């Protein structure tokens, strides 16, 4: 008997499944609030801390870049662990690695060691990887016609941590006074404690494991180790046009959002905006990203994943037009960034649900890990190129370049819809998402 077979939960009957879904979602929402709080608390002053430790502003951007790189690199090891042992061990380990990374950041700040700081920031990214993977854990036991809603509820929970995190950075900095730790490193000390609390919460309460439970309820032929391998997951994505579309939708949405959002504060400052106004614009952007996720989930379940993927492309295009033509109009830039967040939310929720729908249950963890690897790698490259585009051309041209990424993703949406002619209308009439019915 394998370790996975020994860890498999007892069979769940139909009567107890709804209660288990609610409990699983509640635990994931709570862990997402804590995880989001820890990430936002630490990352709020990451660039400031990097400048202090390195002694130059030129290297300050490497700290958040290291975090994004760490999130991407750790996505596949997390997926491998989840594929073999379930969601709970993967999420717990990721939060603990994030806590370790936060501790290394504090040590590096105290020692003034910049390379060690970057290593810590990369490990810190594991917590972001856990937050991303949590949305898929919510989908494991969800009914197919409510899968997008389950994903969106967990995405929405990030709003609380993302809003509160930057606001507790200042008291976290003051709390380390007299300890020989730079105030900018204080938030990372707090983040380490928050991540440990998240790990304990998941380890104790996320039982039975949602992924293992879903496998136990699945077809017998999908329970073999071969069907659950990383290779099987990648093969499932390659074999499914809808899975490939989902991968492109999530990657393009994330890359466009990160590239434009990361350069917007510089453009606002160039046009005379102060720190407070820049903070308000970014806060509005974050609200667009997370607060409206449940709306995107309902739409994806009611009218179809493909329709919402198309909506994402439209919203992102509108956002790029508004931001790219704003010039010195701070209000127009703020509107553009808010719509940019909405487009990202629509793309992430619809793409994540479509990917989950489109591959066999046994291969989902591997496919989902590959999706997060792709989206974070693409966004990391996009963020790096965005700075070069702004430096060599302008913020307006950055928006034009980002808009060009929407062309292939929109074409794929239209092509996939044509392959299943009248799919959305047929599925909606039957009371279930067309993308689920025809996957």
pLDDT in the model for residue 158? 84
Q: What is the pLDDT of residues 165-205, one digit of tens each?
A: 777 878 888 898 888 899 889 999 999 999 999 999 999 99
Whether residue 34 contacts residue 199, with contact meaning beta carbons closer than 8 Å, is answered with: no
pTM, two decimal places? 0.85
pLDDT above 70 (res 223) = no
pLDDT band per the 50, 70, 90 thresholds, residue 355: very high
Q: What is the pLDDT of residues 229-271, one digit of tens each?
A: 777 788 899 999 999 999 999 999 999 998 898 888 888 888 8
Alpha helix stretches (DSSP H) within 86-209:
87-111, 114-139, 147-167, 169-174, 186-205
pLDDT above 90 (res 56) = no
Q: What is the mean pLDDT of residues 413-436?
A: 58
Give the DSSP per-residue string, 66-81. HHHHHHHHHHHHHHHH
Q: Report the C-alpha gap between 217 and 361 in whole angstroms.
A: 10
Alpha helix stretches (DSSP H) within 271-329:
275-290, 293-303, 305-324
Long-range pairs, 311-314, Cβ under 8 A, ≥24:
311/346, 311/350, 312/249, 312/253, 312/343, 312/344, 312/346, 312/347, 312/350, 312/351, 313/343, 313/347, 313/406, 313/409, 313/410, 313/413, 314/343
pLDDT in the model for residue 278? 79
Q: What is the pLDDT of residues 373-387, one digit of tens each?
A: 899 899 888 887 888
Look at residue 375 and give its three-state secondary structure. Answer: helix
Tell me the average pLDDT of the chain: 87
């Amino acid at each position: 008997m394998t370790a996975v077979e020994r860890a498999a939960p007892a069979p769940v009957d139909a009567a107890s499944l709804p209660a288990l879904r609610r409990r699983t979602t509640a635990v994931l929402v709570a862990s997402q609030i804590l995880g989001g709080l820890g990430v936002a608390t630490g990352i709020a002053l990451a660039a400031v801390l990097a400048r202090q430790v390195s002694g130059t502003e030129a290297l300050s951007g490497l700290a958040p870049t290291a975090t994004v790189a760490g999130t991407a690199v750790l996505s596949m090891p997390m997926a491998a662990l989840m594929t073999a042992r379930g969601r709970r061990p993967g999420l717990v380990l990721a939060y603990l690695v994030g806590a370790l990374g936060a501790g290394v950041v504090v040590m590096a700040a105290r020692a003034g060691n910049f390379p060690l700081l970057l290593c810590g920031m990369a490990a810190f990214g594991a917590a972001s990887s856990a937050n991303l993977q949590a949305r898929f854990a919510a989908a494991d036991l969800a009914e197919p016609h409510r899968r997008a809603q389950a994903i969106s509820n967990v995405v929405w929970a990030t709003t609380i941590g993302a809003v509160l995190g930057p606001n507790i950075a200042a008291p976290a900095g003051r709390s380390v006074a007299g300890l020989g730790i730079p105030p900018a490193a204080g938030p990372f000390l707090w983040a380490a404690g928050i991540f440990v609390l998240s790990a304990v919460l998941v380890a104790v309460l996320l039982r039975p494991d949602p992924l293992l439970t879903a496998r136990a309820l699945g077809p017998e032929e999908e329970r073999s180790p071969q069907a659950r391998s990383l290779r099987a997951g990648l093969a499932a994505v390659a074999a499914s046009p809808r899975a490939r579309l989902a991968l492109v939708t999530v990657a393009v949405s994330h890359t466009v959002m990160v590239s434009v959002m990361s350069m917007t504060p510089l453009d606002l400052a160039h046009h005379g905006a102060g720190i407070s106004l820049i903070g308000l614009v970014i806060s509005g952007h974050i609200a667009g990203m997370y607060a409206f996720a449940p709306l995107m989930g309902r739409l994806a379940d009611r009218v179809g994943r493909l329709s919402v993927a198309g909506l994402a492309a439209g919203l992102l295009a509108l956002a790029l037009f508004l931001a790219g033509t704003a010039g010195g109009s701070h209000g127009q830039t703020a509107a553009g960034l808010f719509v940019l967040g909405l487009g990202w939310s629509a793309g992430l929720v619809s793409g994540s649900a479509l990917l989950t729908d489109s591959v066999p249950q046994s291969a989902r963890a591997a496919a989902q890990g590959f999706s997060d690897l792709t989206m974070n790698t693409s966004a990391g490259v996009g963020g790096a190129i965005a700075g070069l585009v702004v430096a060599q051309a302008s913020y307006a041209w950055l928006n034009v370049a980002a808009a060009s990424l929407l062309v292939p993703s929109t074409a794929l949406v239209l092509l996939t819809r044509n392959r299943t002619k009248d799919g959305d209308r047929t599925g909606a009439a039957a009371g279930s998402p067309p993308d689920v019915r025809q996957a």
